[in-house]
Structure 1
Amino acid sequence: MADTAAEGIEDLHINTPEDEIDTNYKPPPEKTIEELLEADKEDESLRKYKEALLGEAKEGKIIVDPDDPRKVIVKKLVLCVTDRPDVELDLTGDLTQLKKQVFVIKEGVSYRIRIEFIVQREIVHGLKYVQKTYRLGVPVDKMTHMVGSYPPKTEVQSYTTPPEDAPSGMVARGSYIVHSLFTDDDKHEHLKWEWSFEIKKDWKD
């Protein structure tokens, strides 16, 4: 089980089957804030739109953590279930300890995953959240979410996945390992981490 799961985390990169569906797709060239503002500057409405979108970033380079050279700092993963308290994973510490904090999910319930992150220094293009789920070392699910492009901001930004239904039934109950990756169009791996959840008949079982 451990060997298979370990191989899985190495397989978690952005060349997923979902990415390969559109073989003609090419990400747009990476542009700085200055280049974006300079382009089409004669179009007044477009200029105002871009300035509104960029907000405080157009005033100068935003650096939230000068000691961190990354453009994207992933802060936390949050499990969201209607009428239940949010459950959070802190992604700023020792990532090897995350599997010890096991999320409990009631079978059949609808849930969402929210990723909270900070963008600093430059605009990041085409963020993606890739997730592979394993049961007993065997891959059972894989999904890729297009998060979008984000300007640098001093405050935390976030992306919430569409609702997913947890599996149900006796066979579905048990422990799962998830390998998560936050990446972008330019194939930068902003963060890769591993976490766990357990499907139970009820929240307190």
Structure 2
Amino acid sequence: MVNGDSAVQEDLNPTPTAGYQPGQKKSLQEYAALDAEDESLRRWKESLGISSGSAAMDPNAPKLTIHTLALESDSLKDGSIVLRLDQPGDLERASKSPLQIPEGIEYAVAITFSVGREVLSGLKYLQVVRRAGVPVDRMEEMIGSYPPRAQPYEKRFAPSEAPSGMLARSGTNSVRTRIIDDDGAVYADFAWSFKLVKG
């Protein structure tokens, strides 16, 4: 968990979903047995991979593990810049070694992640970019709801355009990323940085 000042914390609070009332958390087995006669609920559970025969997951597995964060663009030589986040030292390197991003390119943020031991619902991706301590960009995207499974999930967000010009290239941008749900539970919170460079 990354600690920060109250202004950053405020920036990293999700926008409440209108009309949403947090419900009681349930285990995978409880979801599987829930309202077995309700056809629409049965279809919803199947869309999440939950059935009455769902296997029990490791109770000690992390609820959520972020494997990678990538900036994907046709303008990049290899098609993407990837931050690995699931190995020892990855988070420290991500915060201390700024990514080099060509100015003015269109790119999309993509993450790969695993869900370990319970259904996670209403997940959101929040990202605040600061330059010289001043917020210059904020991104909030819905990730969705996911049940546990062995294979990682991938989520790609809407494209954005990197700033351009001498001012945009003038310093390092510090980024704070958080994955949170509508109940306010934080599943990931980490820092990284980037510099804009001439293409």
Partner of 1:192: 189
- Aligned AA for 1:42? E
2:111 corresponds to which of 99, 110, 115? 115
> Which residue is equivalent to 1:29?
24
Check if 1:80 corresponds to 2:58. Answer: no
The equivalent of 1:3 in structure 2 is: none
Indicate if the aligned counterparts of 1:125 and 1:186 stay in contact, CA closer than 8 A. Answer: no
47, 51, 59: which one aligns with 2:46: 51
Q: Which amino acid aligns with 2:123?
A: L
Q: Which residue of 2 aligns with 1:141?
A: 137
SS in 2 for 1:47: helix
Instruction: Quote the offset at 1:176 in angstroms.
Output: 0.6
**Distance in 2 between residues matched to 1:59 and 1:38, nearest whole Å:** 10
Of 191-200 and 6-15, the range deviating more from structure 2? 6-15
What is the Cα-based RMSD across aligned positions, in Å? 2.8
8 A Cα contact 1:62 1:152, kept in partner? yes
Letter in 1 for 2:111: I
Q: Which segments of 5 or more consecutive residues in structure 2 lack a partner in the other structure?
A: none
**2:186 aligns to what SS in structure 1?**
coil
Structure with bigger helix share is 1
Give the distance between the partners of 1:53 and 1:7, measured in 2 at CA.
Answer: 35
Distance 1:153 1:69, change over 3 A: closer
TM-score normalized with structure 1 length: 0.80
Query: Normalising by structure 2, what TM-score?
Result: 0.82
**Aligned-partner residue type, residue 31 of structure 1:** K
Distance 1:21 1:80, change over 3 A: same
Distance 1:38 1:57, change over 3 A: closer
Q: Between Structure 1 and Structure 2, how many residues are aligned?
A: 192
Structure 1 residue 129 corresponds to structure 2 residue 125: yes
